[in-house]
Amino acid sequence: MVLPAAWGRAWFQRGFLGILACRRPLLRGSMILGLILCCCTLAVLAGTVEGPTSVPELRRVDVVLGCSYVGEGGLPRAFGGSQHPATLVLRGLSVTDDGTLGDVTNYEIPQEDRSSSPPIIFEASVEFQSSSNNTSLRTRLGSSITLDCHFALAPGFLLSSLEWRRQHRGSGRSLFRYNVGSAGPTVQPKVHVDVEQLLGSGDASLTLQEAAVDDEGTYICLVSTTQHQVQHNIQLLVAEPPRVRVFPAEVSFKRDETITLTCNIAGYYPLDISVNWIQKTPEDEVEISLSNARFSSHRQSRDGTYSITSYLSISSATVQAPATYTCHVSHVALEEPISVSTYLKAPEHTESEGLIGGAIATAIFVSVLFIVLRKKRAAEPKPEQLLTASE
């Protein structure tokens, strides 16, 4: 099966790393010894792609790349030498078939055209091929995650050993090691490699169970034969989102009172976090960011996660009720910030204030009534005056 150069370059950039063994140059006419300069050299062989993906079935194909050939003793064109177009054919390359390969065919050497210069064709076989779909992964606490590592060997080549190592902050540790022919693997708790899949299909992937903060680091997959060794480095990050609570959930002011609102943020990892208080009243067209919040120091739990508390003080003398106060929290483990609010109700009269007000109103009413009655009584004629008038 043959794939064109453009597809070959794109596929290499998705994670191919291999050991190539040149068989022979196929030349029509005289044999010229020299140096081959491939336009797609090892630079394209080193690329990888982030993120875990499913691993489709492998297919063996031929990949054709355009190259340049410089004769023995010659220099590249930039140095005054001459270059000749050439073709590099990678035979029997194992690639993952995601359904886009279609009906590809084996590469056939073109027939010689005597009217033109003979083609220069180089063939190479892949002895040892290794790939990984991961360069960086993120997981939550307590989750299980699989770190991808696959390899393929040409006929006649045998796996010698597989080792997974974890490197973090200057220290390293072997997590899994298996030597072919030994009684069994050496394995640390919480990690698993399927030895049957390893020997059968070249699946060297490692599964980590119940991830913890201490499991962060660079995981190294080392695949070895008697002649070659390749490795893949995968960065594993742990990110746990915070839990956010605001209390009290609803408050109201008394006369000349100051209230402290509390936003408790707990259970997050890594340490960096952003906390912001927002105020919104019915009269405000936009939310107002508040800068007078206070914060506790960071606290770390036994599981490695962190917590912090933010305090916001509001006074009846300076704020307007009703209003909504919101604690906004941003963290790398959150797709969107968390917003939790508390509601400040309009001032309410207390029972004592109601009694005092009622007593005052009653006293005023009684006073007014007394004055009115007194004036009315003063305006009425006295009995003596009535007798005199009748005489």
Tokens of 378: 């003063």
Residue 86 confidence class, pLDDT cut points 50, 70, 90? confident
> Do 12 and 114 have their domain in common?
yes
Q: Is 169 left (phi over 0), alpha (psi -120 to 50) or beta?
A: left
Domain assignment of residue 355, given as a range? 351-390
Q: Report the pLDDT value the prediction gives residue 159, as an integer from 0 to 100.
A: 95
Among residues 349, 329, 187, 220, which one has the least CA distance to residue 267? 329
State whether 142 and 206 are in the same domain. Answer: yes
Q: Give the pLDDT confidence score for residue 10 in this predicted structure.
A: 37
Q: Give the pLDDT confidence of 257-307 residue by residue, as tens digits.
A: 889 999 999 999 999 999 999 999 888 888 899 999 999 999 999 999 999
The dihedral formed by the CA atoms of 41, 43, 46 and 50, expressed in degrees to the nearest 10: -130
Residue 189 and residue 279 in one domain: no
Last residue of a domain, one of 345, 362, 382: 345
Distance CA 303, CA 291 (A): 32
Best CA proximity match to 198, nearest among 228, 218, 226, 176: 176
Q: What is the pLDDT of residue 69?
A: 78
Cis peptide before 322 (omega within 30 of 0): yes
Mean pLDDT taken over the chain:
78
Contacts of residue 160, Cβ cutoff 8 Å, sequence gap at least 6: 179, 180, 224, 225, 226
- Which of 129-138, 271-280, 354-363 comes out lowest in average pLDDT? 354-363
The predicted-structure confidence for 12-70, as pLDDT tens digits, reads as follows 333 444 444 444 444 333 333 333 344 433 333 333 333 444 545 667 788 888 888 77
Note the pLDDT of residue 380.
65
Amino acid letter at 287?
E
pTM: 0.66
Tell which of 238, 265, 282 closes a domain.
238
Q: What is the DSSP string of 26-91?
A: EESSS---EEEEESS-HHHHT----S------EEEEEEEEEEEEEETT---GGGT---EEEEEEEE
- Residue 282 is predicted with a pLDDT of 85
Instruction: Dig out the tokens for 384 from the structure.
Output: 């003596």
The C-alpha atoms of residue 166 and residue 221 are separated, in whole angstroms, by 9
Please tell me whether residues 219 and 283 are part of one structural domain. Answer: no
pLDDT at 140 over 70: yes
CATH of the domain at 272: 2.60.40.10
Residue 144 Cα distances to 72, 141, 235, angstroms: 56, 9, 15
Tokens, residue 364: 């005023």
Number of domains the chain contains: 4
Tell me the two tokens of residue 136: 């960086």
Cα separations (Å) of 155 from 3, 125, 127, 181, 297?
A: 22, 11, 8, 19, 61
Q: In the listed set 113, 131, 149, which residue is the last one of a domain according to the structure? A: 131
Residue 333 falls in which region: left (phi positive, over 0), alpha (psi -120 to 50) or beta = alpha
Q: Which residues pair with 16 in a beta bridge?
A: 131
Residues 330 and 361 in one domain: no
Q: Give dist(CA 86, CA 65) in Å, integer.
A: 9
